[in-house]
Amino acid sequence: MTVQDKREQYRSVSTRGSVLYFAIASLSGIDPMYQNSLEYVKKIFTETIKQVVSSKTKANEESREQESPVKIKNEAEPESKENSARTLSDRKESSHDLGDIGELLEELLERITENLYISICRGLFEADKLIYSFLICISIKRNQRLIDETCYNLLLRGQGIFDKSRQPKYKDFKDIQDILTEQQWDLAYCMQLKASKFFSNLIEDLLASHQLLREYVSTDSDVTASLLDELPKFLSQDVPDFEKLLLIKLFKPHQLLQTFREYVVRDLGKIYSVSPLTSMEVLFSSADQVTPIVFVLSQGADPNEEILGYAKKQNLSQKLHQKSLGQGQERAATTLIKEGLKNGYWVLLQNCHLFKSWMPQLDNICDQIREDASSIHPSFRLILTSAPVDYFPAAILQNGVKMTTEPPQGLKANLKRVFTNVIGRDVYHAADSNSHRAKRAQDNQEPQAKSPNPQQSSYSRSSSNSGTPATYSKDATAKRAKE
């Protein structure tokens, strides 16, 4: 097999990367802060390939060692040059042996899609994450030509401008007027006119079964119910899932986003319908001295405490220098960045959106940092916070690591955020294992005599340095908790 043939085997992987990049690039139309460069996407793409190939090679080597018996050569027997060359050749081949190419390609496609979803989701607001996962889903299917382009345009843009001369008049059907709006009636006619492959008799079916249609439209589906499987009974149930989205848009437009989620779960998996958790450890590990970290602010959320807490956890509180931007702060901010570049400080510039006139200068500074990467202290980090504004430098957004800050919605989201950022995964798992260990030790011990003074025993503990107990009163404990 030639090199060109081997390259062709991986064409599907490069195609997937291209499809995902254009899906990511289209996000900037939703919010100007959702900009990502091709270099950033290629970086994640390349790192994922290296991870998959490394793990696959290691797994195959371990499997080969377990299956084949180890042959020990007699030390006294000299090894010929021919055998030595053959052994070296076998080792080289085994080092590049990745097993079944089909399994490797499948894993590469899965991991690349997943990693790009997780990495980009960090910089998206909660309301737009489902749109991003839906974009990934339909972009892949459109590339595979599994989606009818006419139906895609109707779902995305609606009926648009069309010839109404042959359309049945909306005002002539009073029964339909009580169920559908005139805009919905126009969409139904365009679906029959342009997507006749699936909806060739849609208007006739609506007129003939308006009572069943009324029941379907007036009944809201259960949250746990499948909207894609609960179509009106008078319609064909063999319609593909994507075309069913058109029917949901026609009859129940208020539940279209919910149906998007179900469609994504069916095609890509549940992971793409859930917001991925992101911790400060993961965020800062993705950045380096030339890659700025950008926190996109929202009302009611401030990442300052989390940043300070992470710096303290890394024993870098003394190296974290912060400045709130505003008019007249350009000299102080520039000086702070220069000192950080030289001494390896973490420079936190807050509220960049309040200093519009300085943004071009900040853009030039970041460009200079990228050009002089070799002379910059490796511990330097530039951290920026800004509300979504269209004048924030595009180059910083495209080459930086972004994370949105929003107040958690609901108890579950609050607990996830606490366990991820405040407590930390390592501490959480350690505490969990310690509690199980303590419970087992308590179960193995014999019951102790009841303390004569339960109030005192509940506030006593044994000193770790001596055998004498150290007792705290309620007042002392309350004072310590207050402090």
pLDDT score of 234 = 82
Confidence band of 411 (pLDDT split at 50, 70, 90) = low
pLDDT score of 444 = 53
Tokens matching residue 97: 């042996």
C-alpha span between 257 and 8 (Å, rounded): 38
Q: Whats the size of the chain, residue-wise?
A: 483
Kindly report the average pLDDT of the chain as a whole number. 82
| Domain 3-65+92-143 is found in CATH 1.10.3720.10 | no
- The arithmetic mean of pLDDT across residues 225-235, rounded, is 83
Determine the topology of domain 280-407 in CATH. Answer: Rossmann fold (3.40.50)
More confidently predicted of 441 and 26: 26
Confidence band of 402 (pLDDT split at 50, 70, 90) = very high
Helices in 288-424 by DSSP H: which ranges? Answer: 304-313, 330-343, 359-371, 394-399, 411-417
Confidence band of 327 (pLDDT split at 50, 70, 90) = confident
Every domain of the chain and the residues it spans: 3-65+92-143, 149-273, 280-407
125-139, 153-167, 355-369, 431-445: range with lowest mean pLDDT: 431-445
Task: Report the Cα–Cα distance between both ends of the chain, in Å, rounded.
Answer: 72
Give DSSP secondary structure letters for 232-289. -TTS-TT--HHHHHHHHHHH-GGGHHHHHHHHHHHHT-GGGGSPPP--HHHHHHT--T
Confidence band of 232 (pLDDT split at 50, 70, 90) = confident
- The arithmetic mean of pLDDT across residues 406-410, rounded, is 67
Q: Would you say residue 474 has pLDDT above 50?
A: no
3-state helix, strand, coil in the chain (%, to 5): 60, 5, 35
pLDDT score of 460 = 37
pLDDT tens-digit series, residues 80-117? 555 554 444 444 444 445 557 888 999 999 999 999 99
C-alpha span between 119 and 46 (Å, rounded): 14
| pTM to 2 decimal places | 0.77
Q: Would you say residue 408 has pLDDT above 80?
A: no
* % of the chain with per-residue pLDDT over 90: 55
Give DSSP secondary structure letters for 41-52. HHHHHHHHHHHH
Confidence band of 353 (pLDDT split at 50, 70, 90) = very high
51-55, 90-94, 418-422: range with lowest mean pLDDT: 90-94
HEC sequence for 123-190: CCCHHHHHHHHHHHHHHHHHHCCCCCHHHHHHHHHCCCCCCCCCCCCHHHCHHHHCCCCHHHHHHHHH
Tokens matching residue 125: 């607001």
